[in-house]
Structure formats: C-alpha cells, structure tokens
C-alpha cells in the first residue's frame, strides 16, 4: 500500500519514497518513471560531483552535519561474533549512504518542478539508528532534517518483505546475516515511530493499495 503525504506549497516539490527494506519502493519509482514523472536519476551524476555536493552541504551546514555523523557513528548494533572487517563494512555502508543523501539534497536544490527521489533523507534514519530508539530521539532527528514537500510511504507485508530479502543479490549480502536480521528488526521498530511522527507533520493526500 502507498500513503501520499504532503504539507507544503512552492515551485519545487520534492517527494521522497520512504519505507522498509524490500517494501516495493524501487518498483513504485519505476512505475512513476514509466508514467512520465520526473524521477531523480542519481546514477547519472558523477562520483566527483557527488563528493563536491556533499562538501558544499557540509560547508553550509557544518554543525548539523557533524551532529548527524556523530549520532550515526556512536549508535552501533554490537554483536559478539562480529569481527573488525564486519564493522568496517557496516561503517562504510552507513556513512556512504548518508553522505549520498546529503549530496542529493544539494543537487535537488538546483532543480525545478516536481521531483520523486528514493534512498533519501528520511530513509537515512535507518542508517543513523541501528538500535531501537525512543520517540524523543527520533523526533529530534526528524526535526533537524530538511524534509521535502511530500512523502510516499510504501508498505508491504512482513512475509513478502522477508521473502524478497532472502533473494537479494547486491552488496548488502556482504553483511553478516545474523546482524542483518537484527538490524532489520530494529528498523521495523523505529519505522512505526517514524511513521507516527510523519503522520503528525504531514497531511495525508491519498491511500493507494498495491496492485
């Protein structure tokens, strides 16, 4: 199912696709693109430009950026069987994801009109918070994010999501599977709190069941 939330007016409308892993975000984005919607094609942006965009964001927002990086790198899901190389993979994944999200924010500021984007700022909360968090902590993080004009929340049943996760063939498979399962459980816990807060901030525009 999809929930369309929106709360601002303006010439530029940034709509983030948000949801748990394998809920169907990429499929929805593909459908939007097929329907002629303006979908951010982040792959076409060079690595050099992405780095420069992040650097610009850091210069413009040093304190907030440092705050998020501190929260992310002081919030670790620790498991006794993990080795140093495992933590390095996790560190690289989390930080590169967040750096990319901030670079996207700077890139989107230069675009006009309606733009749909995934793997963005709200989604990065799952990287920042690896452990189960309180509503107070999550609300504080959301209040510091430069949220877009709209959000589409994508949901799928737990069984279908886990079936899809078992078939994933990408760098995420490098993660320790026990760690991955625990992290996903924590994401599910935090997701319910994030969704509650978003429903307070944004006005629901529409509800669309999955096809």
- Walk across the sheet containing 150-154 and list its strands: 113-117, 12-19, 150-154, 2-6, 203-208
pLDDT value, residue 211: 47
* φ/ψ of residue 20, rounded to 5: -70, 165
> Phi/psi at 119 (nearest 5 deg)?
50, 50
* 211 residues of the chain, pLDDT tens digit each: 676 777 666 566 889 999 998 888 988 999 999 999 999 999 999 999 999 999 999 999 999 999 999 999 998 888 888 888 888 989 999 999 999 999 999 999 888 888 999 999 999 999 999 999 999 999 999 999 988 888 999 998 888 888 877 776 554 556 778 888 899 999 999 999 999 999 888 876 655 555 4
Residue 147 sits in a domain whose CATH number is 3.40.50
pTM over 0.95: no
What is the number of domains present in the chain?
1
pLDDT for res 82: 84
Nearest to 207 by CA among 158, 159, 155: 155
pLDDT for 208 equals: 55
Domain that holds residue 138: 2-208
Give the other-Cβ count within 10 Å of 112's Cβ.
9
Q: Which pLDDT belongs to residue 153?
A: 92
Rounded-to-integer distance, Cα 117 and Cα 41, Å? 8
């Amino acid at each position: 199912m999809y929930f369309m939330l929106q709360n601002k007016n303006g010439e530029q409308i940034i709509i983030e696709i948000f949801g748990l892993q394998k809920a169907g975000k990429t499929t929805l984005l593909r459908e939007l693109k097929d329907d002629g919607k303006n979908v951010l094609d982040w792959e076409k942006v060079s690595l050099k430009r992405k780095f420069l965009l992040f650097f610009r964001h850091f210069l413009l927002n040093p304190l907030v950026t440092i705050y998020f990086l501190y929260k992310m790198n002081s919030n670790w899901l620790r498991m006794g069987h993990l080795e140093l190389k495992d933590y390095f993979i996790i560190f690289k994944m989390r930080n590169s994801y967040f750096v990319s999200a901030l670079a996207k924010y700077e890139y989107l500021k230069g675009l006009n009109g309606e733009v749909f984007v995934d793997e963005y700022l709200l989604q990065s909360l799952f990287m920042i918070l690896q452990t189960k968090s309180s509503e107070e902590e999550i609300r504080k993080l959301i209040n510091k994010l430069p949220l877009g004009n709209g959000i589409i929340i994508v949901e799928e049943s737990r069984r279908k999501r886990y079936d899809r996760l078992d078939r994933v063939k990408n760098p995420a498979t490098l993660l320790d599977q026990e760690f991955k399962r625990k992290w996903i459980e924590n994401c599910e816990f935090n997701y319910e709190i994030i969704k509650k807060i978003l429903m307070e901030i944004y006005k629901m525009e529409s509800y669309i069941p999955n096809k």
